[in-house]
Each structure stands twice: as structure tokens, then as C-alpha cells.
Amino acid sequence: MDLIINGETRAVTADPTANLLDVLRGELGLTGPRFGCGAGQCGSCSVLVDGQDVAACLVEVGNLAGKAIVTVEGLGTPDAPHPLQTAFLELQAGQCGYCLSGILVGAKGLLDRNPNPTRKEVAQALAWHLCRCGVHNRVMDAVLLAAKRMNAETAR
């Protein structure tokens, strides 16, 4: 079966009932999404599926034909990082970093739907993403900074 991942069609041989996280990490070598709880409650494995922030550990790949899947690897490159990645680095919005790939894609999904969110909307969108290090305030600051910069760039 073919999956559309980070804008590229990728052929996968996995059983259709395999979860997306296992296919991304094991078959495709995309290790940005991480295994956390395995129950869809921590956000470490978060990816965007047609713009929606979902737990890859719970989604069967057989249900994803024709849907656009975005992992943290699809956000930017070292030479051209996504504004979220730049803001997160600038504000040091991470400590151990385990949760950040899921938070980044969740934040991207939010900004794609709502380019000018309030702090409360950022908090609500990312509420299911757990960070044991407690960097939530810096995460929200970084998302709002990225939104501000992206809006300024769009206005030009």
C-alpha cells in the first residue's frame, strides 16, 4: 500500500492493521515520532493526518490511504527550519526533548488551522501532549512567537 508522508508517496509492506508509529519508525526509518505510552495519551508519537493531530500509536495504516501524513521530519530542514523549530530553539522550549516532535507537529496543525491563536487556544490544542520536564510555558511562548513571525511574513 502507498502512504503520503511528508509530501512523498511511500510504499509500505506492513500489514494494514499495523499501527502507523511502528511503520514510520520500523519500516520507513522516520524516528521523529516516539513511542511513549502506547495508549494515545502522551503525544510523543503525534503526527498530522490530513491536518489533524493524532496519536500514531493508535492509527492503523490500512485506514490512511490517500491521507496526508506529516511527521516532524516534514516540518523543515537544518538549512531551512520551520518557524516553529526556530522559535523553539531560540526560546529553549525543550529540555530533554522527548515530547518535542509531537508538540511541534501538533503546533503546526494548530497554526495551519488558526494562524493567530490566543495563549488559551495554544494550551487547549496541546493539552494532551505531556512534558515531564515542565517546559509548557516556554512551549506556548514559542508557538505564539512562531505565529507572530509567520503572520508578519505573510503580510509582506
- CA 105 – CA 97 distance, rounded (Å): 14
pLDDT in tens, 69-114: 999 999 999 999 999 999 999 999 998 889 999 999 999 999 999 9
Q: Which domains does the chain have, with CATH numbers?
A: 2-74 (3.10.20.30), 83-155 (1.10.150.120)
Residue ranges of alpha helices (H) inside 3-135 are: 20-22, 83-90, 100-113, 119-125
The phi, psi pair for 138, rounded to 5°, reads -70, -35
The whole model's pTM is what?
0.94
- E strands, the chain, where? 2-5, 8-11, 46-49, 52-55, 68-70
